């Protein structure tokens, strides 16, 4: 890629034949960047976009809308802190244009495409109020405007969110935090809640997760359940077992099988055969980034270790592409001596079908 990118915004392009990777933080420059790289699956290479983001940022969210354009919203900017600004990237014209700003600045939040084409943004950290937020908002593509949705039951950032098979949205885990110059508090969360677009209401899930998790992933399975993987627990240690949420019962259950390599701030991708690929991330126990990758099979209760990635990073971009191919790119790298950098590398994973 043109630059190293820590926590860029990324999404698949129409047809899943490529990906857009925008922004991020470049340690060599010491600042957030606005450049955009385009990955072409057929050519297996990155090419620079002719356009740039209007606002350099990392920890933003990218969602491909129903018309094929990619919404890039929120995040962190070196001068502005948490930001409200949103932009649209159009692959057909390779152009970026601004769109309506979010109601509240937020970073480390989640953005989920709803069935009706709107986008739900949940929680996040807002540096302007020195705290995580419980607010949620909706982006409406026809009007290009954001409006407040119903509040979540509790504030959180670094959580996972997943569109359920019935069109509702599961929000799980993360951290609740407040900080000031003199005081601060934080709590890793095991709670979960479900947003119903029909009623605009978040409802707490009766059964909490088995383990509190900061920066986990949530992946929808073909049978309608959701796989929760990775994350850092309330005691600071990695959570090395996965959980399965069943919307029919509203409860979480531990996935049977061996434990996983410790990881948080990683990415997960659903494979066409119902398994889930997890890779990279931060190993809290080793205090290092990891290059490990694995495939979780909830049907068999198995964890298959894959060859390591060519590079170790966390907060990387991961995009599922056509044919079950998964692109991994960028992220933050921490060397053995503690020195931090942003990776400019990419890798393609092509897991064999079971």
**Secondary structure of the chain in HEC code, one letter for each residue:** CCCCCECCEEEECHHHCEEEEECCEECCCCEECCEEEEEECCCCEEEEEEEECCCCCECCEEEECCCCCEEEECCEECCCEECCCEEEEECCCCEEEEECCCCCCCECCEEEECCCCCEEEECCEECCCCEECCCEEEEECCCCEEEECCCCCCCCECCEEEECCCCCEEEECCEEEEECCCCEEEEECCCEEEEECCCCEEEECCCCCCCCCECCEEEECCCCCEEEECCECCCCCECCCCEEEECCCCEEEECCCCCCCCCECCEEEECCCCCEEEECCEECCCCEECCCEEEEECCCCEEEEECCCCCCCECCEEEECHHHCEEEECCEEECCCCCEEECCCEEEECCCCC
For range 157-184, the mean pLDDT: 92
- In the predicted model, is pLDDT for residue 150 greater than 90? yes
- In the predicted model, is pLDDT for residue 48 greater than 90? yes
Q: Are 277 and 225 in contact (CB under 8 A)?
A: no
CA-nearest of 22, 38, 116 to 74 is: 22
Residue with tokens 């029919």: 248
Dump pLDDT digits (tens) for 308-340.
Answer: 999 999 999 999 999 889 999 999 999 888 899
CA-nearest of 55, 168, 170, 54 to 110 is: 170
What pLDDT sits at residue 339?
A: 92
Q: Are 291 and 307 in contact (CB under 8 A)?
A: no
Strand order from edge to edge, sheet including 243-246: 217-220, 226-229, 243-246, 251-254
30: CB partners within 8 A, 6+ apart: none
How far apart are alpha carbons 18 and 40 in whole angstroms? 5
CA-nearest of 57, 67, 109 to 88 is: 67
For range 45-67, the mean pLDDT: 98
Q: Chain centroid to CA 300: how far?
A: 26
Q: Chain centroid to CA 156: how far?
A: 14
Q: Give the confidence band of 181 by pLDDT, cuts at 50, 70, 90.
A: low
- In the predicted model, is pLDDT for residue 210 greater than 80? yes
Residue 209, Cβ density class (10 Å: 0-12 exposed, 13-18 middle, ≥19 buried): buried
Q: Locate 11 and state its tokens.
A: 């999404």
For range 36-43, the mean pLDDT: 97
For range 62-89, the mean pLDDT: 97
For range 158-165, the mean pLDDT: 98
Dump pLDDT digits (tens) for 128-145.
Answer: 999 999 999 999 999 999
> Which of 180 and 184 is assigned the larger pLDDT?
184
Q: Are 89 and 22 in contact (CB under 8 A)?
A: yes
- In the predicted model, is pLDDT for residue 284 greater than 80? yes
Dump pLDDT digits (tens) for 290-312.
Answer: 999 999 999 999 999 999 999 99
For range 215-222, the mean pLDDT: 98
Q: Give the confidence band of 285 by pLDDT, cuts at 50, 70, 90.
A: confident
For range 92-96, the mean pLDDT: 97
CA-nearest of 110, 70, 68, 67 to 86 is: 70
What pLDDT sits at residue 183?
A: 75
What pLDDT sits at residue 353?
A: 75
What pLDDT sits at residue 336?
A: 84
- Sign of the Cα torsion 174, 176, 181, 182 reads negative
């Amino acid at each position: 890629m043109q630059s190293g990118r820590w926590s860029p915004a990324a999404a698949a392009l129409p047809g899943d034949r490529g990906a857009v990777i925008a922004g991020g933080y470049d340690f060599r420059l010491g600042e957030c960047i606005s450049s955009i790289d385009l990955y072409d699956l057929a050519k297996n290479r990155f090419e620079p976009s002719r356009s740039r983001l209007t606002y350099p940022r990392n920890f933003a969210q990218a969602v491909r809308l129903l018309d094929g354009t990619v919404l890039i919203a929120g995040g962190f900017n070196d001068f502005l802190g948490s930001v409200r600004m949103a932009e649209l990237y159009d692959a057909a014209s390779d152009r970026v244009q601004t769109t309506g700003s979010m109601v509240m600045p937020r970073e480390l939040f989640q953005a989920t495409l709803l069935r009706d084409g709107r986008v739900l943004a949940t929680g996040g950290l807002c540096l302007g109020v020195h705290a995580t937020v419980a607010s949620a908002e909706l982006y409406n593509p026809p009007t290009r405007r954001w409006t407040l949705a119903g509040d979540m039951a509790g504030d959180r950032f670094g959580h996972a969110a997943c569109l359920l098979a019935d069109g509702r949205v599961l929000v799980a885990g993360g951290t609740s935090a407040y900080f000031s110059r003199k005081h601060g508090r934080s709590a890793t969360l095991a709670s979960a809640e479900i947003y119903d677009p029909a009623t605009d209401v978040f409802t707490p899930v009766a059964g909490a997760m088995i383990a509190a998790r900061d920066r986990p992933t949530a992946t929808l399975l073909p049978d309608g359940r959701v796989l929760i993987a990775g994350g850092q627990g309330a005691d600071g240690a990695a959570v090395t077992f996965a959980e399965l949420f069943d919307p029919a019962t509203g409860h979480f259950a531990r996935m049977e099988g061996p434990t996983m390599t410790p990881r948080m701030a990683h990415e997960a991708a659903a494979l066409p055969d119902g398994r889930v690929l997890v890779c990279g991330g931060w190993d809290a126990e080793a205090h290092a980034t990891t290059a490990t990758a694995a495939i979780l099979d909830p049907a068999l209760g198995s964890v298959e270790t894959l060859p390591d990635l060519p590079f170790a990073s966390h907060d990387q971009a991961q995009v599922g592409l056509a044919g079950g191919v998964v692109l991994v790119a960028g992220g933050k790298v921490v060397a053995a001596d503690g020195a931090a950098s942003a990776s400019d590398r990419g890798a393609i994973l092509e897991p064999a079908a079971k």
